[in-house]
Amino acid sequence: MSKVEHPITQAVRFLRANSIPFTPRLYPYEDHGGTGRASEMLGVPEHRVIKTLVMESDAKHPFIVLMHGDREVSTKGLARQLGVKQVHPCDMKDAERLTGYQVGGISPFGTRTRLRVYVESTILELDRIYINCGKRGFLAELDPADLEKALKPERVAVAITP
């Protein structure tokens, strides 16, 4: 069996530097396909495909939220848990500038600017997850315990079913 060829992104460098084992999972990217497309192409439940969302508080403090692909973030619930008035998604250009990644390929690993990371707590209960690895159409399959070890995210409970 040959080794899977994959891009060497900042996320890959971060995972290697932190000795985080992962399996590269490549798929044909489609604009606006989202986690549903990734799930379909990889043959995995969308609940296990994790979105990396760059958000900011009303005070313009950016941060990352990791959410199940088949769920949305309750911004009111998140603001309440963070003790701020409001949270909302960052502007696309700001998200790309802060992370160093293109929207559609944003990874929480190896971001240009170190950002606080929040994770929907139920993600950490899964046995395997699929999360962006720094390029459109490129996910890393890994153990969520390794994600927690590498990023030390704060747990939140803000998922809503769309």
- DSSP string spanning 3-24? PPP----HHHHHHHHTT---EE
52 token code pair: 């990396």
Dist CA 109 CA 151 (whole Å): 8
- Closest C-alpha to 140, from 7, 1, 17, 40: 7
Q: What are 141's strand-pairing partners?
A: 23, 130
Burial class from Cβ neighbours inside 10 Å (0-12, 13-18, 19+) for residue 72 reads middle
5 token code pair: 């060829």
| pLDDT computed for residue 42 by the predictor | 96
Q: What are 63's strand-pairing partners?
A: 55, 116
64 token code pair: 């990352």
Dist CA 107 CA 99 (whole Å): 8
Contacts of 97 (CB under 8 A, 6+ apart): 112
Whole-model pTM: value is 0.94
| pLDDT computed for residue 119 by the predictor | 98
- Closest C-alpha to 23, from 152, 148, 153, 146: 146
Q: Structural domains in the chain?
A: 10-160 (3.90.960.10)
| pLDDT computed for residue 5 by the predictor | 82
Q: Left (φ > 0), alpha (ψ -120 to 50) or beta: where does 19 sit?
A: left
CB 5 within 8 A of CB 12: no
Q: What is the pLDDT along the chain (162 residues), one digit of tens a residue?
A: 345 688 899 999 999 999 999 999 999 998 888 999 999 999 999 999 999 999 999 889 999 999 999 999 999 999 999 999 999 999 999 999 999 999 999 999 999 999 999 999 999 999 999 999 999 999 999 999 999 999 999 999 999 987
